Amino acid sequence: MADAAPKLRLATWNVNSIRTRLPRVVDWLSRADVDVLAMQETKCSDGQFPTLPLFELGYEVAHVGFNQWNGVAIASRVGLEDVQIGFEGQPTWSSKPDVAATAEARALGATCAGIRVWSLYVPNGRALGDPHYTYKLEWLAALRDTASGWLRDDPAAQIALVGDWNIAPTDEDVWSPEFYAGATHVSAPERRAFNDIVDAQFADVVRPFAPGPGVYTYWDYTQLRFPKRQGMRIDFILASPALAGRVTDAQIIRDERKGKAPSDHAPVFVDIRRE
């Protein structure tokens, strides 16, 4: 018999442009009984974000976006409090020597029904040896240090670090380790950086319910990667100890990668027992 206990459903989805993907997001939310949705790669400014359709579904929305790049959001129908743009110590970035480095729109926190949710879009890294790769590792190290501090201050804190991590932590998280050899997302430093956050007591609470190999969250648009099942698992929900103990189920919704104009990522959700 299915668990009838009251639950909160927390999801994450790299939507790869909310304005392009809005009909799909609205359709999925109307069917999926999601209480909180963290979105990444919204690719719009705050003024361009389509808040009204989500509001009409009963969601409050927080968003940070500066231009057509990056962008993160949280939509919640169970409250949206203490919104924070960026985490303490978040590194800055500039792609041009003559432009001052600033914090990108890659991290947004809010408290939803007592859970501190962080929508995270980890830097891509681009290529081994690229300055953006160094930035990625520094970004992850800063997140680890800050998140560790949250748990030192309050070991019972209910925290969810969710989003597109741009890292496949194990070989089973890619369709071909040989294909990705020498590339980002699978390098030893990136995997160590991800595992450092896990070691800081933020558990991957999806994998126990959706084990691999062959279970992915991202498929490139090119080379028929999706129908060939040639994907990567790079979208994760990491939970603090107090929150991890409340997770009762998790799913990767692969079917949302199908159909007309999909994102190249699938949504991922966990069900959390309400207290």
Give the closest residue to 143 by CA, choosing from 82, 89, 83, 202: 89
Locate 240 and state its tokens: 């603090």
> From the candidates 135, 216, 265, 271, which is the catalytic residue?
265
Alpha helices (H) along the chain: 18-32, 51-56, 131-153, 188-199, 241-244
CB-count exposure of residue 32 (10 Å: 0-12, 13-18, 19+):
middle
Pairing, β 60-64 against β 203-204: unpaired
Please indicate if the annotation marks 41 as binding a ligand.
yes
Task: Choose, from 35, 59, 135, 164, the residue flagged as catalytic.
Answer: 164
Q: Is 164 annotated as a binding residue?
A: yes
| Residues contacting 54, CB < 8 A, separation 6+ | 25, 26, 29, 61, 75
Catalytic residue at 164?
A: yes
> Is 264 among the annotated ligand-binding positions?
yes
**Lookup result for tokens 């809010």:** 110
35 is an active site residue: no
Catalytic residue among 59, 121, 216, 218: 121
- Sign, Cα dihedral of 25, 207, 259, 163: positive
Q: What type of residue is 84?
A: Q
Is residue 121 part of the annotated active site? The answer reads yes
Distance between CA 184 and CA 192 in Å, rounded?
Answer: 13
Angstrom distance (rounded) from CA 116 to CA 157: 8
Cα–chain center distance at 268: 9
166 is in an annotated binding site: yes
User: Known catalytic residues?
Assistant: 121, 164, 265
Q: Could you tell me which residues are annotated as the binding site for Mg(2+)?
A: 14, 41, 164, 166, 264-265
Q: Could you tell me which residues are annotated as the binding site?
A: 14, 41, 164, 166, 264-265
